[in-house]
Homo-oligomer: A and B are copies of this chain.
Amino acid sequence: MATPDTPRAGSSRSAPEPGRLSINTATVRKQWTLAQIIEGCARHGIRGIAPWRDQIAEMGLVEAARAIEAHGLRVSGVCRGGMFPAPDAAGRNNALEDNLRAIEEAQRLGADCLVMVVGGLPKDSKDIAGAREQVKEGLAALLPHARAAGVPLAIEPLHPMYAADRACVNTLAQALDLCDAIDPQTSGALGVAVDAYHVWWDPQLEAQIARAGKSRLLAYHICDWLVPTRDLLNDRGMMGDGVIDLPKLRSRVERCGYAGMHEVEIFSELDWWRRDPHEVLDTCVERHRSAS
Contacts and interface: CB of A to CB of B under 8 A. Distances in A.
Interface stretch (A16-24, A44-52, A162-170): A162-170
Interface residues of A, number: 36
Contacts of A128: 200-201, 243, 245
Interface in A127-184: 127-128, 132, 159-161, 163-165, 168, 170-171, 173-174
Contact of A126 (B159, B160, B243): B243
Contacts of A225: 164
Nearest to A245: B126
A216 to B, nearest CB: 18
A93 interface: no
A231 to B, nearest CB: 8
Contacts of A125: 8, 243
Contacts of A227: 121, 164-165
A9 B232 contact: no
Interface in A1-24: 2, 8-11
A163 B229 CA distance: 12
B8 A124 contact: yes
Contact of A203 (B174, B203, B228, B242): B174
Contacts of A163: 200-201
Nearest to A229: B232
Contact of A170 (B10, B127, B203): B203
A160 B202 CA distance: 8
A164 B203 contact: no
Given A9-B124, A126-B244, A245-B126, A161 B229 contact: yes
Contact of A161 (B10, B161, B243): B161
A228 B170 CA distance: 18
A272 to B, nearest CB: 19
B228 A9 contact: no
Nearest to A161: B161
Contacts of A126: 8-11, 243-245
Those 4 A-B pairs whose CB atoms lie nearest each other, nearest first: A163-B201, A126-B245, A160-B201, A161-B161
Interface of A: 2, 8-11, 121, 124-128, 132, 159-161, 163-165, 168, 170-171, 173-174, 200-203, 225, 227-229, 232, 242-245
Given A132-B203, A164-B225, 16 more contacts: A2-B124, A8-B124, A8-B126, A10-B126, A125-B243, A126-B243, A126-B245, A159-B160, A161-B232, A164-B242, A168-B201, A170-B201, A170-B203, A174-B203, A229-B232, A232-B232
